[in-house]
Structures are given as C-alpha cells and as structure tokens.
Amino acid sequence: MTVDTHHHLWDLDVRDQPWMTGPEMDSLRCDFRPADLQAAMRGTSVDATVLVQTVADPDETPEMLVLAETVDRVAAVVGWVDLTAKDARERIGRLQTHPSGGWLRGIRHQVEDEPDPDWLIRPDVLAGLGAVEDSGLLFELLVRPHQLPAAIKAAGQFPQMTFVLDHCAKPDVAAGELEPWASRIRVLAAHPNVVCKLSGLVTQDDWAAQPDPSRLRAYAEVVLEAFGPSRIMFGSDWPVCLLAASYAEVLGVAKDLTAGLSDAERAAVFDTTAREIYNL
C-alpha cells in the first residue's frame, strides 16, 4: 500500500490558478479533476491520498473537503487560512465544523511567494500559527532554501505542532547546488516535530531531461540522513509533476531513491508515516 501525501485538483472554470505564469506552464493550464487523478494512479499501489490547497482563497478549502467526502482514495485535506487575520482561530474553527470538516488535517500557505524571507516569524503570522497549533492541525511548510532559517525558528517556537516540509524546500537541482540548502535542512530536521515530503524534486531538475534518479540522489540522501526514513513521506505533486514526469515516473523515481532502505524503512516512507501524520 502507498499513500501519496501531496497532490492537487483544480477546475479553471471555477477558479484561476494565478501561480501559473509564463509559457512554460502552458501544459498545466487545463482542468485536473478527480477522474484525471484516478486515471493517473491507475496501475499503481496508491490507495490513499492527501489533497493540498493551491491558492490563497478561502472558498477553495470547503470545496476540497467536499471532494474528500466523495472522491475515492482522497483521504485527507490540507487547506488554507489567512494566518495574518485577527480572526484566524475562528476561520479554522469554521472549517473544522464544516459538514465535511473531519477530512481537514492541516493548513498551508504559499510562503515561497512571500518577498519577506522572515514572513513565517512575523508577529501576526506567529499568532496565526498559534491558532493552527491550538486547533490540533499540522502546518505544511512551502518554502525555498532562503526561507529555511525562518522555518527553523517557527518549528522551534511551536514544538507541540507537527510541521511538514513540502518538496524538500525546493533545492536547485538543475544548478546542482547543495549548499546552503543541505546545512539548513539538517538544522530543521533537528526539530523532532518536523517531517519531510520526498516530493517535488523532479520539477526542480531540468524539465526537458528524462527523469533521472542519479541527478536527484544527492538531495534525497541529505533528507534521508537528516530526517531518517521514519520522518519521510512520499508525495507525487501531481499534476505539477507533469512539467517533468508522469505520475508513474515520479513514483518510480522515489522507489529508486529509496532502494537502499530496508523493507520496514521503505514501508515508513511510502505508507505508515503518512497514515500516522495525517491520521488516515
């Protein structure tokens, strides 16, 4: 059994995806609906998924909760709340008491798009993170390497809340850069309340090249060593991954990168850790 801890769905007739900028994103400018997800997963071992928000729109999360209620294999939702809002606590509460609110497991914000590298540790954001902690939800870190110092401080400030690092903090695989990303990853991983998704690496590589685990191996080894297999979870990042690789190719690359692990360690990466973290 395999849990995919990171995928998206969108309908452009319902909502624009403003992060799709430039002609290189043209292949993603179409609808990706539940039937497309089911087709992408066909023939794989994936039996449960986590649906993750894509835009800073309060209407998206309730829609995703309804999808989790009705779409086979979608087993949890990571939604969005404006962490800077003075009533962030109430907004989270309304999501949790939504008729399908039982599927909500976490909150995420596209911190990677914030110009302030210290956005995560602004007083108003810290207050919002406190509301997430009090709600019993986890928080997903969508950051880039230069934002890791703030993520490290935030994780230390809320030791009782689980933080999930998305896409290994997006190292520059295409340029072959390991530092300072690797050193910062090790510091973040020293916080036991942080887990990491083995996701998003193929789209940090050259999109025109065939998916090649050898170009990603150094980055996978850093996170595997830093977090340990028991704090790593597979994520496809579908359909964004289609910029560089198919669903099946991403899963195959992840299995190649973890081939040196024991059976129990691989089971943690692909299944058991995700079921525990997301309470599936």
Mean pLDDT of each 10-residue bin along the chain, 280 residues long: 97 94 92 96 96 97 97 96 98 98 98 98 98 98 98 98 98 95 98 98 87 92 98 98 96 97 98 98
Host domain of residue 243: 3-278
What φ, ψ does residue 109 adopt, rounded to 5°? -135, 145
Q: What's residue 242's pLDDT?
A: 96
Return the beta strands (E) in the chain as ranges: 2-7, 46-52, 74-79, 104-109, 138-141, 163-165, 194-198, 232-234
Cα dist. 76→65, 100, 108, 112, 277 in Å? 8, 11, 13, 23, 11
Q: What's residue 34's pLDDT?
A: 96
Tokens representing residue 110 in the block: 């596209």
The DSSP 8-state label assigned to residue 211 in this structure reads: P
Q: What's residue 275's pLDDT?
A: 98
Q: What's residue 210's pLDDT?
A: 75
Q: What's residue 192's pLDDT?
A: 98
The CATH number of whichever domain residue 171 belongs to comes to 3.20.20.140
How many structural domains are present in the chain? 1
pTM over 0.75: yes
Residue whose structure tokens are 């560089």: 244
Q: What's residue 153's pLDDT?
A: 98
Q: What's residue 206's pLDDT?
A: 85
CA dist 57 and 196 (Å) reads: 25
Say which amino acid occupies 258: T
